[in-house]
Amino acid sequence: MMNAEAGRRVLLLVVVVAGCAVAFYWREQFSIATLTAWVGQLGWTAPLVFIACYAAATVLFLPGLVFTLAGGVLFGPVYGTVYNLTGATLGATLAFLTARYIASDWAAQRSGKRLRQLKSGVEAEGWRFVAFVRLVPLFPLNLLNYALGLTNIRLSHYIVSSFIFMAPGGAAYTYLGYAGREVAGGGEDMVRKALLAIAVLASIAFASRILVRRHRRKTGEV
């Protein structure tokens, strides 16, 4: 049977395909020029504003995927990835510090039974466990940022491993946003880019399942 994680991946794939179809149908009304003009008006402050908004959204439990896709739409696949990762890491660090020094009781209550598993994982594997949960979202990502602040992981290890191992997924979803913009704009290579975006998403789902299976074999889980 399909597990919950695989189900979410399939649902996301359906949403991406449907989004590309809607974007193509309404491409005349959905003006990419309007978005790029808005970014242009902000000038050099545009990346700073976007990063600050992304970080705030992470702290406030808003869906980071929306901002990641927006980063691809507004800034393209390269700069969008850099800005997305910077905003996500900054927000994750703020949440981590909040849980560790300000609101530990609240974070522990929100984490519930997951906290024990996170603590044991960090104690056993250190930064490698942080890398694993960044690559494979077994826990709600925004809550994970707070919960990891209650473990004994060093702040520097948390920041570096989070930035590096959020990069594959961040880059992939940023490209999805960029591909959606190209489809909406009716570019010459829109079909190729849309198919590549779907292939990227499928690769993420496949890689995640492999990592989960390896982790379960290692820990003895069924």
Instruction: Write the pLDDT tens digit of every residue in 145-159.
Output: 998 988 889 999 999
pLDDT higher than threshold 80 for residue 24: no
Q: Which residue has the tokens 């399939």?
A: 10
* Global confidence as pTM: 0.74
d(CA 216, CA 199): 26
Task: Please tell me the predicted confidence (pLDDT) of residue 107.
Answer: 87
- The residue-averaged pLDDT of 79-90 equals 96
Give long-range contacts, CB 8 A cutoff, 24+ apart: 182-188. 183/20, 183/23, 183/24, 183/27, 184/23, 184/24, 184/26, 184/27, 184/30, 184/32, 185/27, 185/32, 186/24, 186/27
The string of DSSP codes covering 113-165 is: THHHHHHHHHHHHTHHHHHHHHHS--S-HHHHHHHHTTSS--HHHHHHHHHHH
pLDDT tier at 63, thresholds 50, 70, 90: confident
Cα angle 90-164-141, degrees, rounded to a multiple of 5: 55
Three-class secondary structure of residue 191 per DSSP: helix
- Using left for φ > 0, alpha for ψ between -120 and 50, and beta otherwise, residue 112 falls in left
Q: 20 versus 52: which is more confidently predicted?
A: 52
Q: Which residue has the tokens 């609101």?
A: 103
What mean pLDDT, rounded, does the chain reach?
79
Task: Please tell me the predicted confidence (pLDDT) of residue 168.
Answer: 85
Eight-state DSSP code of residue 189: T
| Residue 188 CB-half CA count within 13 A | 0
pLDDT tier at 214, thresholds 50, 70, 90: low
Task: Please tell me the predicted confidence (pLDDT) of residue 53.
Answer: 92
Task: Please tell me the predicted confidence (pLDDT) of residue 1.
Answer: 45
pLDDT tier at 222, thresholds 50, 70, 90: very low
pLDDT higher than threshold 80 for residue 28: no
